[in-house]
Structure 1
């Protein structure tokens, strides 16, 4: 840093402020410092920096998501990254792939790298292991799914209410035989969405019809439902990958204009299909922003009781959910 200061013709304190991401440095001086850093190939030693800093912060946070390639996770990730970047903080990210062991391993790895806090979309049945992995005072915010065995702020979509709204929408368009392609019951959000489906069906006095955890077999589960003696005239799908599988199955059967469909979660190009897919959209960007802001508040010393932050869903009618019932096939 002394070499950088001499090359840039500035004080050591100015170099420190630029390197640490402070926004109060004169732009011309900051540009000279960055040019000197590039010329000399200077790289801060994060371990040494942490030891010197009074607050012991590393300006990194960990983000554990189900699958960063999933459009929902990708949007949430970008929102967290934007919030962190504005604060001069870097984000370490990992995909959990619904694997509890992977969740524990990644959380431990980020803890050993002295991340200032974690944002976790839980997949393990119990997050009590965090008490052993984390140093005291390291905050954790849970996003998309609630945690068990560990207390922290939680950011959730209105899953139950959103699912009920989707089913009521189908009922309002004349459907009485509505099948639900459900996600894995071990997932808390899947259980909430199932409850929402059942709420709306019960209110209307209608029988339920559920295919639980079709996963990769959703393209087989959909035709099986449509071969029932009294087949559904509409489908409600629990998440975006299941929705995509159902769309493919309906198109293969040439029933995509006869069987109504509402999916939970939006996905790219849903509005360009024929018919365009009606969805209950979550707002992953808002969830990511809320989770990041809650975490930075905790890092900065916020000590009130853990909060549950609700992010509303929104029904987007596009065409597939508005198809009228057409009877048996």
Structure 2
């Protein structure tokens, strides 16, 4: 700011008035100050200003598993839209499913004094955030619940969605329905497994744990899993993919498979309707997930002191063709 004042030939106080939009500055003087600001590339330190004033930083922290995953990209975009409406900016980071990375990001955001945080948790222990909640920083957990911490949580109805997927495939004649999902330590994978088992019981399907495979989805692991599921006289005639990453690897593997089972994915994705056959999915309204979480956070910022809430949003099945085929 002193450099701007020297270049414009005015006092530092005058520069401050121009930067803060105060009216008591002559138009020609303001023009000189703005020209000096442009020439020098000056940017106001909003954080320092807010600290001096004792006001909020105007930022939120958002931690997701992977900002490159379309599911979390849509979540990020929705949160950002809500935040913009409240005059806030969003700082985002990826945990890469690492509890240590999640903790590192959360504490970094706390150190930057964000006004609040939204977290898709990778870990199962969140007591380290208790001091932040006590000090008045609101935290909302999204898609998965926190461990050991009472905080607002917004989830999708994974159990009902997986049960609905089984019922849909059973209605098309399938009795050997496989469940191929991510690691069982992941909350959403475990919930969907619970729904799968409940759906099988309701449909009167035999419980066969050989049809359940849960591991980190990679191209090789899905090819190997698919080989085991489709070989032999008791092969699966339908596969439920536990998330969009599993679905992507599964579709690539099926391009080279001798048999093609019915496939029903969990989580929608771009171009799913353009595949041959178009991809049937259990879809989560990611926009509603992000919007509900962000609105809960801003309610806390406005003074809502009610007990922590748990909101479970419905999912819906989108039949497009890949699951609506009879057993081969």
Report the TM-score when normalising by structure 2: 0.86
| CA deviations over 1:12-42 (Å, ceiling 9, x no partner) | 7896479xxxxxxxxxxxxx9x977656744
Partner of 1:267: 269
Partner of 1:293: 295
Work out whether residues 282 and 314 of structure 1, in 8 Å CA contact, stay in contact via their aligned partners in 2.
yes
Work out whether residues 262 and 277 of structure 1, in 8 Å CA contact, stay in contact via their aligned partners in 2.
yes
Partner of 1:281: 283
Per the TM alignment, residue 52 of structure 1 is displaced from its structure 2 partner at its CA by: 2.9
Flag the structure with larger Rg. 2
**Over aligned residues, Cα RMSD in angstroms?**
2.6
Partner of 1:28: none
Per the TM alignment, residue 11 of structure 1 is displaced from its structure 2 partner at its CA by: 11
Per the TM alignment, residue 229 of structure 1 is displaced from its structure 2 partner at its CA by: 3.4
Work out whether residues 19 and 44 of structure 2, in 8 Å CA contact, stay in contact via their aligned partners in 1.
no
- Are the structure 2 counterparts of residues 17 and 147 from structure 1 closer, same or farther at C-alpha, using a change threshold of 3 Å? farther
Structure 2 counterparts to residues 1-329 of structure 1, below 5 A: 16=20, 38=38, 41-54=41-54, 56-132=55-131, 136-208=135-207, 209-216=211-218, 217-256=221-260, 259-326=261-328
Using the alignment, how far apart are the partners of 1:197 and 1:280 within structure 2?
12
Q: Secondary structure at the match of 2:180?
A: strand
Using the alignment, how far apart are the partners of 1:122 and 1:153 within structure 2?
13
Per the TM alignment, residue 150 of structure 1 is displaced from its structure 2 partner at its CA by: 1.3
Q: Could you list the structure 1 runs, at least 4 aligned residues long, displaced by more than 6 angstroms after superposition.
A: 1-4, 10-14, 34-37
- Structure 2 stretches lacking a partner, 5+ long: 23-30
Per the TM alignment, residue 292 of structure 1 is displaced from its structure 2 partner at its CA by: 1.1
Q: Secondary structure at the match of 1:255?
A: coil
Q: Secondary structure at the match of 1:47?
A: helix
Work out whether residues 159 and 313 of structure 1, in 8 Å CA contact, stay in contact via their aligned partners in 2.
yes
Per the TM alignment, residue 214 of structure 1 is displaced from its structure 2 partner at its CA by: 5.0
Work out whether residues 265 and 280 of structure 1, in 8 Å CA contact, stay in contact via their aligned partners in 2.
yes
Using the alignment, how far apart are the partners of 2:259 and 2:108 within structure 1?
48
Using the alignment, how far apart are the partners of 2:294 and 2:187 within structure 1?
21
Q: Secondary structure at the match of 2:323?
A: helix
Q: Secondary structure at the match of 2:105?
A: helix
Work out whether residues 175 and 325 of structure 1, in 8 Å CA contact, stay in contact via their aligned partners in 2.
yes
Using the alignment, how far apart are the partners of 2:17 and 2:43 within structure 1?
16
- Structure 1 stretches lacking a partner, 5+ long: 19-31
Number of residue-to-residue matches in the alignment: 307
| CA deviations over 1:151-186 (Å, ceiling 9, x no partner) | 211111111111111110001111111010022111
Q: Secondary structure at the match of 1:155?
A: strand
